Every structure is written in structure tokens, then in C-alpha cells.
Chain A
């Protein structure tokens, strides 16, 4: 049994890069409501530093709300959330970078200026901020599009720029809210590979929300399954293979399919 009281899918566990012992994110008994509507109920989760954890659950179960609470944009009505041991909303805000579902790139800024928003907000000059962003652009294949306006970029590119913006906030924890939901299947696959590579290159603690179980299994060290509202964690899976950039290989692994079915079953069971 795991520490959360939820059954852990037993698998042959192949060690990945062992997560460090310090707990980057700790949730205990988190509950939240909007008026009469209870959204989260007694949710508990530990995320180690450098770990990539996926959250899957039925639509409207409160995943986005959970990310907002973790990020420090709001405080839960009950329970505690700690980031690297610090509990206050301001501390969480300082430690978390939140990538919302829509890319929300500002149309009046070029791609690189959009990505450089966080350094600029912290007081960097325009040039200084760009200098911080340029290497990332280069590394992730966006160098040619640095000066393009968001309107000129494809959906996939915009999501990449948004991700780089999130990275450039320089915060240890990344909260990604369904980053690829709006993309078509092909682009989504490419973006998943790209993200896998990015996270391998720049290690962060990541919470990834997705409705795509395959995506979660491919990208994450651990996948938590959430129930319908009021949400709590009802299952947890640990993918067999280490995170890798080769998506095709990972997805065609027979173990992968089995895990997918288990996850989907858990989802169906608890999605009422």
C-alpha cells in the first residue's frame, strides 16, 4: 500500500533516476469548495524533487482548481499545501510556474519577448531578458521563430513558446494544465516528445494535468488517477519504462498498453 491509502498498481518497478529524497510538493487533506459545490475532498499527494507526476481524471473534476491552489493563486479551504516545506500562498507563488491550458501568448509581443516575460517582470532589461531566452529557443528548435508574432505561429509552436515562458520563470516547480489538449493528434505526439526531451534536459519538479492517459504514462514518472467531483486520488500507476524521448518505442511497448487499460478502468470506475 502506498502512503496515500490508494492501491498502487503492482508492476515490476524499474528504477528511473531515483528522485531525490526531499519532498518538493506535499499535499495533505486538501479540500476546496466553490460555494455549495465541493470540488476537492481530502486530497493527499507527495511529489519528490525532480519528479514528473501526471494527474488524470474525468472532465470537470477539479484538476485546474487543484493546480491553482498549489501554485499559490488561492488557498484551499481545508488541508495544507507545502512547496519545499513552505506553506504560505506567497511562498508557493514564488516557487511555482503555472502553464495554463491556453497558451495566452500576448499578441503584441514577439515569441521571444513573450517567453521572456518573467525575467522582464523581475526587472531585467529587454535585451537582458532576451539573452536569457535565446539559448532556450536555440536548444528547442525555435531560434528561427524568435521574432515572429504569435499570430504567425502554429498551435504547436505557440505551446512550445508558452512552455519556454514557464521555464524561464526560473521556478523549481512547473504546473502544466493540459498543455496539448487543443492540438491535433500528430502535433500532440510531436509536442509530447519535445516536452519529454525538454524535461530530461532541464530537470524540474512537474505536475502535469492531462485527460490523455497515454500522454501521462509516456511523460511521467508516476500517474495519479483522480475521481469525479469531489476529487480525490483513487489510483496510482508507475510506468515501467524510464522517461525517454522516443515516443514510438515507449508507446508500442506491450506493458504500456496494459497499464493504459488499468488506468482507464480506474478512471471509469471512479468517474461517477
Chain B
């Protein structure tokens, strides 16, 4: 219970403080802005809450769009990333050739590549999936690869004396052994995946939370912008929790070494 109560209390306290600062005008003073317009610059939590309620249909509809982009893009990156990690693990040549590229993939600024993807793939869900997959690819692949690589060599030797060939070793020893590390990477990836979806939407969309934020921003509906951000965070948190749950179910042994 404490695990839920303590952070909830902290959040409640911060929101409370923010609300008080906003209502008393102290917030405006801190930011150096006129009080009469401060709700357009930084809305009070109560304004955001109101938008969450009043705009709930908009937020849910667009939230669903973004959620699909995140989940599908994440799934793609899991398939591609794990496959890539296995390939790099099995072949020294591939590893030497492609590991530097793997690292470079992380440095590609999504902001720059998203518009190019839109021109190539059009305005549908394609570019968003690509951007989400790209953002998730590096943490998943690197974590899985490290997991595969760090299997105890003694365990590999043991398997070899137990009638295991290369494929069996991969399937029965290395992959399960790497599962906790894979989840490590997956948790990081899913938390940042939402950012990718939004960036993808900013450059070519007619729906989604990123699109909604653009519209709301242009309409000076800052409370709605914040509300959309809240929904985005909720999506990221929920997915993070799901992945953690999957980890506890599928890899409960955590990262204890093979004794």
C-alpha cells in the first residue's frame, strides 16, 4: 500500500502547490507574466482537470489512435530488434559490421527523419510506426544482445555435453537466459515510444494526440494541451506497467546469475 500511497501523496502535494500558486497569482509572478493571461501560458491543475473531463471524447478518440501507433510500433521493434540481436550474437561478421550502425541508429534525430518518412510512406500510420519502431529499436536490441552475450560460458559447455546443438543452445539456454535483460530494454523502450508517435504525428496526421496538441496549441487552448500530455503520460505509464507485469510473469527469476 505504501508503494502506491507515497508517490500519490507526493503528486497530490505538487498539484496542490501548483493550484495554489496559480489561483493566487503567485505562479504568474514567478514566471514574470501578467496574471490575467497566465492560464493561457500555464493552466492550473483544475483547468487541466476540467479539460480532461470536457474534452474527454476528443482525448479518448485521439488517444486511441496514438495508443495503436505506439503498441504496433513497439511490437514491430520487438520482432526486428530481437531478431537483429540474435543475428549479431550468432555471427561475428555481422556483429563487427552492424554493431556500430546499431549505435548510430540511436543518434538519428527523429525530428529530422520524421518528415522524410512521411514523404516516403504517406500520411497513414506507416511513418508513425516507423518512428516508434526506430525509437524503441536501440534499447531493445542492445539489451537483448547483451543478455545473449552474457550467458555463462560454463552453462553453454554443459549444454554441449547434453546433446545440444547450436540451435538448441540458442533456444533452450541463451534466449530464456536473456529474457530479463530483454525486458529491461523493453521497459525503457515502451516509456519513450509515445514520444515517437507524437513526433510522427506532428509532421503528417489528421488524428492522434500529437495532432490534437498542435490544434489545441494553435487555438490557445493550453489546458487542453496539458490534458493531452496527461493522457500521453498515462499511456506511457500503463504500457510500462504492462511490460513490467509481463516480466514478472514470464521472467520471474529476475537477473539472478545461474549458480
Give B contacts to A, CB under 8 Å: 152, 154-155, 157-165, 168, 172-173, 176-177, 179, 251, 253, 256, 258-259
Contact = CB atoms under 8 A, between A and B. Distances in A.
A104 B176 contact: no
Contacts, number: 65
B163 A122 contact: yes
Query: Which 4 residue pairs spanning A and B have beta carbons closest together?
Result: A107-B253, A118-B162, A98-B161, A121-B163
B154 A104 contact: yes
Given A108-B179, A121-B163, 13 more contacts: A93-B160, A104-B258, A105-B259, A106-B173, A106-B176, A107-B253, A107-B256, A107-B258, A117-B164, A118-B163, A151-B256, A169-B162, A169-B163
Interface string A142-184: 0000000111000000100000010001000000000000000
10 contacts: A100-B157, A106-B155, A107-B253, A108-B176, A108-B253, A117-B172, A121-B159, A121-B162, A121-B164, A151-B256
B253 A151 contact: yes
Contact of B162 (A68, A103, A108, A165): A165
A122 to B, nearest CB: 5
Contacts of A118: 162-163
A165 B161 CA distance: 11
Contacts of B177: 106
Interface residues of A, number: 27
A111 to B, nearest CB: 14
B255 to A, nearest CB: 10
Contacts of A97: 161-162
Contacts of B155: 104, 106
B258 A102 contact: yes
Contact of B259 (A104, A117, A120): A104
A117 B161 contact: no
B159 A117 contact: yes
A96 to B, nearest CB: 6
